């Protein structure tokens, strides 16, 4: 990674603090990922991507910008990647999942706020994230209150375009979201100097649909028993999908799926067949927030599904392809995105149905509801999810935590007791 020093300097990174950040990542990755037994061979690609996490891809972004291209940072699965791509820009997910950035964020934000939001602001203001420093524009969206207000602060550091996400799902709300997508097209055309044509948009709708389809294929393999890949590895793949070049991601994930499907046919798994099957439901796990999976899987259970925005909410439902009609394409995009069941919507019964359906499809023995501290939308929704699962006879427990890891032992004890009960 030392080969990238001049690249990082050119981005204006705080080199000492960046070194501290990188020093922590390697040993953590080795302990959590490389030590897992019987990993699929195709995980070697993702190990390589992580070993180059602030290197190769950041250089690709720098080369793209050197050639006049733009980079757009996103934070939510409502940001339409198709539009970013169709304007010739590169989109990167900037959601931050490390405690490293939280104290920096707390210099601008109250402490009693979701750690993901504090880490977003801290990642920018600490000058330690080369992806943030490569971005020409940020897309924010009006989901939870904390994020809404965070864009005003971020906008003092980097241009932010905010999309106004309606919080009900009536026909007029879908129409309003289509209007927001049109405004985004105008904004990105102005930033990139490129026109979003119907043929370009059709091409990128197809590409991003392929990314969703390969993730669906990956998740399908997790329905098997024994499960052919760990939940931790799947979470990592999903997190990396937000960064990687979409076409390359699709090709590499398809190679992995080939191997996993062979494993399923041969009955090869990474956990014993009788290991409890657990689904995580709740708030997203931005990279490198791997701790919940690590605790559950080192306690002997298999995480077989994530009903989160770093899981099924990211890739379920495709955009209906409509060629050569920009208006109809925007409508198709709006309709697909409005199917995402984030807790910012009211009512949000669709999410309860999703949890029940996924629990059935992935044959889970129990659900662990993961809630980032101070995320009120998901925390309030827990009662309904709990009731619905109990009606189906599926045990559920809630973990509410932040990124600090200060409660890791307590969480581990509670998870172990829950798994014991499942057994």
Binding residue for ligand BJ8 (CB under 6 A) from 283, 289, 312, 348? 283
- Give the pair of three-digit tokens for residue 319: 């955009």
Binding residue for ligand BJ8 (CB under 6 A) from 73, 93, 105, 146? 146
- Say if CB 148 and CB 154 are below 8 A apart: no
Q: How far apart are the first and last CA of the chain?
A: 44
* Neighbouring C-alpha atoms within 13 Å toward the C-beta of 14: 14
Minimum CB distance to ligand BJ8 smaller for 276 or for 311: 311
Minimum CB distance to ligand BJ8 smaller for 49 or for 340: 340
Q: What is the DSSP string of 102-146?
A: HHHHTTTS-SSS-HHHHHHHHHHHTT--HHHHH-SEEEEE-SSHH
101 touching ligand BJ8, by CB under 6 A: no
Q: How many residues does the chain have?
A: 423
Q: What is the DSSP string of 9-64?
A: HHTT--HHHHHHHHHHHHHHHIIIIITSTT--TTHHHHHHHHHTTTTHHHHHHHHH
From residue 37 to residue 76, the character string flagging contacts with ligand BJ8 as x (rule: CB under 6 A) and all else as - is: ---------------------------------------x
From residue 370 to residue 409, the character string flagging contacts with ligand BJ8 as x (rule: CB under 6 A) and all else as - is: --x--x-xx-------------------------------
Taking the C-alpha atoms of residue 163 and residue 161, their distance in angstroms, rounded to an integer, is: 7
- Say if CB 215 and CB 253 are below 8 A apart: yes
Minimum CB distance to ligand BJ8 smaller for 229 or for 342: 342
- Say if CB 419 and CB 300 are below 8 A apart: yes
> Which burial class, exposed, middle or buried, applies to 360 when counting CB atoms under 10 A from its CB (0-12, 13-18, 19+)?
exposed
Binding residue for ligand BJ8 (CB under 6 A) from 147, 211, 222, 252? 147
Minimum CB distance to ligand BJ8 smaller for 194 or for 216: 216
Minimum CB distance to ligand BJ8 smaller for 72 or for 257: 72
| Only segment of 36-44, 221-229, 273-281, 369-377 that touches ligand BJ8 (CB under 6 A) | 369-377
Minimum separation from the CB atom of position 77 to ligand BJ8 (A)? 5
Minimum CB distance to ligand BJ8 smaller for 8 or for 177: 177
Taking the C-alpha atoms of residue 373 and residue 292, their distance in angstroms, rounded to an integer, is: 14
Taking the C-alpha atoms of residue 95 and residue 84, their distance in angstroms, rounded to an integer, is: 17
Minimum CB distance to ligand BJ8 smaller for 117 or for 411: 117
Minimum separation from the CB atom of position 412 to ligand BJ8 (A)? 22
Size of residue set near ligand BJ8 by CB under 6 A: 21
Minimum separation from the CB atom of position 313 to ligand BJ8 (A)? 6
* Neighbouring C-alpha atoms within 13 Å toward the C-beta of 100: 22
Taking the C-alpha atoms of residue 191 and residue 137, their distance in angstroms, rounded to an integer, is: 8
Helix (H, G, I), strand (E, B) or coil at 244: coil
Minimum separation from the CB atom of position 281 to ligand BJ8 (A)? 12
Minimum separation from the CB atom of position 79 to ligand BJ8 (A)? 8
Binding residue for ligand BJ8 (CB under 6 A) from 122, 284, 288, 311? 284
287 touching ligand BJ8, by CB under 6 A: no
From residue 105 to residue 124, the character string flagging contacts with ligand BJ8 as x (rule: CB under 6 A) and all else as - is: ---------x-xx-------
78 touching ligand BJ8, by CB under 6 A: yes
235 touching ligand BJ8, by CB under 6 A: no
Minimum separation from the CB atom of position 384 to ligand BJ8 (A)? 16
Q: Peptide bond preceding 226: is omega within 30 degrees of 0, i.e. cis?
A: yes
Taking the C-alpha atoms of residue 238 and residue 216, their distance in angstroms, rounded to an integer, is: 11
Binding residue for ligand BJ8 (CB under 6 A) from 208, 302, 342, 396? 342
Minimum separation from the CB atom of position 17 to ligand BJ8 (A)? 24
Binding site for ligand BJ8 (CB under 6 A): 76-78, 114, 116-117, 143-144, 146-147, 283-284, 309, 313, 340, 342, 344, 372, 375, 377-378
């Amino acid at each position: 990674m030392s080969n990238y020093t001049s690249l990082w300097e050119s981005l204006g990174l705080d080199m000492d603090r960046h070194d501290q950040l990188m020093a922590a990542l390697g040993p953590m990755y080795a302990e959590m990922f490389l030590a897992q037994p019987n990993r699929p061979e195709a995980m070697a690609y993702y190990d390589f991507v992580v070993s180059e996490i602030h290197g190769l891809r950041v250089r690709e972004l720098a080369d793209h910008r050197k050639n006049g291209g733009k980079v757009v940072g996103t934070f939510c699965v409502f940001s339409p990647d198709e539009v970013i791509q169709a304007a010739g820009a590169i989109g990167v997910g900037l959601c931050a999942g490390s405690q490293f950035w939280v104290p920096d964020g707390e210099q601008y934000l109250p402490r009693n706020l979701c750690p993901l939001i504090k880490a977003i602001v801290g990642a920018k203001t600490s000058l330690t994230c080369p992806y943030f420093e490569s971005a020409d524009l940020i897309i924010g969206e009006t989901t939870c209150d904390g994020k809404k207000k965070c864009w005003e602060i971020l906008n003092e550091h980097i241009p932010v375009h905010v999309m106004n996400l309606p919080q009900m799902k009536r026909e007029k709300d879908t129409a309003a979201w289509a209007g927001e997508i049109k405004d985004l097209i105008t904004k990105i055309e102005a930033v990139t100097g490129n026109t979003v044509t119907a043929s370009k948009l059709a091409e990128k709708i197809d590409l991003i649909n392929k990314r969703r389809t390969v993730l669906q294929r990956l998740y399908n393999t997790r329905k098997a028993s024994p499960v052919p890949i760990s939940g931790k590895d799947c979470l990592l793949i999903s997190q990396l999908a937000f960064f990687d070049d979409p076409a390359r991601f699709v090709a590499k994930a398809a190679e992995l799926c080939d191997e996993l499907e062979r494993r399923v046919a041969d009955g090869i798994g990474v956990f014993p067949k009788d290991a409890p099957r657990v689904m995580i439901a709740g708030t997203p796990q931005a990279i490198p927030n791997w701790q919940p999976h690590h605790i559950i899987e080192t306690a002997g259970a298999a995480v077989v599904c994530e009903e989160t925005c770093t899981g099924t909410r990211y890739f379920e439902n495709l955009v209906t392809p409509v060629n050569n009609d920009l208006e109809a394409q925007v409508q198709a995009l709006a309709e697909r995105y409005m199917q995402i069941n984030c807790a910012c919507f009211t009512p949000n019964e669709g999410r309860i149905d999703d949890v029940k359906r996924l629990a059935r499809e992935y044959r889970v023995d129990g659900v662990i509801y993961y809630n980032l501290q101070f995320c009120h939308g998901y925390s309030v929704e827990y009662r309904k999810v709990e009731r619905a699962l109990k009606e189906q006879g599926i045990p559920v427990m809630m973990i509410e935590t932040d990124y600090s890891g200060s409660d890791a032992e307590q969480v581990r004890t509670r998870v172990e007791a829950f798994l014991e009960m499942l057994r």
